[in-house]
Structure 1
Amino acid sequence: MGSRRSRTPDAPRLPDLDAGEAAAGASRIGNGALAGVVAAFTVLVVVLDYLTGADLQVIPLLVVAPALASVFCSVRQTVSVAVWITAVVVVSRVLMGGTFWGLALSIGFTVLACGLGVASCAARIRHAVEIARLRTAAGALQRQILRPLPVLTDQVFAHGLYEPIEEDRLVGGDIYEVVESPHGTRVIIGDVQGKGLAAMGTGIAVLGAFREAAIREPTLTGVAGALEDAVVRHNASSAQTGETERFVTALVLGFDADGRVEAVNCGHIAPRLLLHGETRVVRLRRTSVPLGMADLSSEARAAECFDVPSGATLLVCTDGVTEARDASGAFYPLDDRLARWASRGPREVLDALSTDLEAFTGGVRRDDIAVLALRGVPVRRGQRPGLPGSGASESQALAFPHP
């Protein structure tokens, strides 16, 4: 095999933690709008208090303002509202007169309620900042574990789309990898059951096993067997610490220099083939159980082959794409959408898919999104990729998938 010719962009930049903290503590309402709402509310309560007279005191209702501000505003805005409300209550109580203890009780209650509002706002923002820091750091770790794309090998050019969920459970379990080996280029895309750091730990175990087995194992079923062993070992270790055992759906692919693709499907979504403006599902008849569940099946994992014609794009994804829903609960129509973009290059297909998914879901995603668009590298007749004298420059190879 020729020398390795993988090319990747610069490593992804780590997210800005300060920016995440600022976003977590940012106000949801502008100063002008807040001032207008508080002023209107104050006038309404003061007028009602004047109309009801001494029989029914409405002024204490003003403490609702800092309580609501603590939910939607920054600490500075909440303090401003609290000071304003305290001043209004003090002035109104002094002007209305009354006993000393009645006046002291009313003002004391207002100060206490406003102070609790400010403290509640500070606690909310502090918690939001902590969550933002954890979420950002976990997302950055997940991006560093996965290989930056695109990747060029002797047999395939791999473009990719990866968007981690990064919500309350911090991270999801989608994984992918592209490895050039003595046996051709091997690719995995998978989805770990569940979300969170525990799921990412299982994903790391699978990725590590794949990177070694892809080079060591001569057969693709041997690679799948090594991945199965890795998940079983990781589950055994997790069980000792009380963690939940997990399984992994995965699609393992092997590309050779002749345009043939070998696949071992471990309970994963079937790939799609885009060629000449048409899209079709590659039906894999030997789909087996997910990784970590081989003991539940009496059938051994098997590989099957199919052709990927020159110029075709093979698209593989996780269920974050196929199970994305719109506001009505309908699933994303992946095949219908791909049919619109089948004549485009891999990068253009991924860009269109990302934009369309965002519009379809309204920006509300429930799972990671991982997609690989794979296209074979053209080889001149009688020459193997990567051999000296092949005449194909790296810049030409890099430009190939962009029609």
Structure 2
Amino acid sequence: MRLDPCDLFDVRSLLSDEERAVQDSVARFVDQRVLPVIGDCFDQARFPAELVPEIAALGLLGATLPPAYGGGGMDAVAYGLICQELERGDSGLRSFVSVQSSLCMHPIFAYGSEAQRLRWLPAMARGERIGCFGLTEAHGGSDPSSMKTRAVREGDQWRLDGSKMWITNAPIADLAIVWAQTEDGVQGFILERGMAGFSVQEIGRKMSLRASSTGALFFDQVQVPEANRLAGVVGMKGPLGCLNQARFGISWGPIGAAIACLREVLAYAGQRELFGRPLAATQSAQIKLADMARRITGAQLLALQLGRLKEAGRLQPQQVSLAKWNNCRMAIDIARECRDLLGAAGITTEHAAIRHALNLESVITYEGTETVHQLVIGRELTGLTAF
């Protein structure tokens, strides 16, 4: 019996029945609803907002949160599989779900009041309210602790001034989780669309994540009620805790992109004839294909163990860094190699490889560049900081 070329070590057999059901459900959605439109969305630089109600109906927004707040109560591996299947469709769609779930719903659940949870989380789980996460600033990049956005307490209000850059979902968001310096340290605030002095500017001319909505946030003396402060955390551990949640999903997502590219190029190489034989019958092609399968297999096993560690409460941030670094690098290399095997046809969005390759340029950069995660592991190995 031949092995599944995209699951050589039968990782699927290590999943629970519930986890397999979640994966199958999201896979059907991607096959039936995402793949038929996502190429055009990428070409048109359009986020497929019409899919949001269906994503919500599948329980993919806040999937790991308790049902009392609209979540699905799923385990970590199930959430990882959601990210994997969504990114098999497109990184932009997975980014939307990651931001909504890990960067917006998670901090409200983990750091917010019960009133904040009840006000926002059920509506966000239903896709009726969209969130964005305001941490990155134009000058800061990999050094978020240098943020210049500042919040000053004025009675029962906070005055917020500053800006944020490269914010996924910003143009379509109803609320923003914004992190700002205060006299007590970094704190988080829930800003609502329509607050005076709060404006959003969409970022265009992107060659990556074109099917995602990206913008900049500007705050000019925005008056934020004390009731909108995330009072449960002070300091950089707040936003970094959110990023760790999101990076977990990002560690799974690129596996889906790599699988999409491998499946496509396997079909192409089996049909494309050169010099009287299929491309798949050449040694050079088989060596490349075998290497892709090897790297995907390693990433699948790494991600699964990462999920089991998270479920056991033993997950460390350094392990997430290693997984994000390894799996993003794996996927972007495979996407580029698949584009090469597709020849000239590979440069068009009629095929998925170039779209995934371009998207992964963002995925390997955001929420910690490859270099940052390498240095995290270097510090863990040596005990010395080289940032």
Category of TM-score, reference length = shorter chain: under 0.3
Select the structure of larger CA radius of gyration: 1
| Structure 2 length-normalised TM | 0.22
| Structure 1 length-normalised TM | 0.22
**Greater relative contact order (Cα < 8 A, sep 6+):** 2
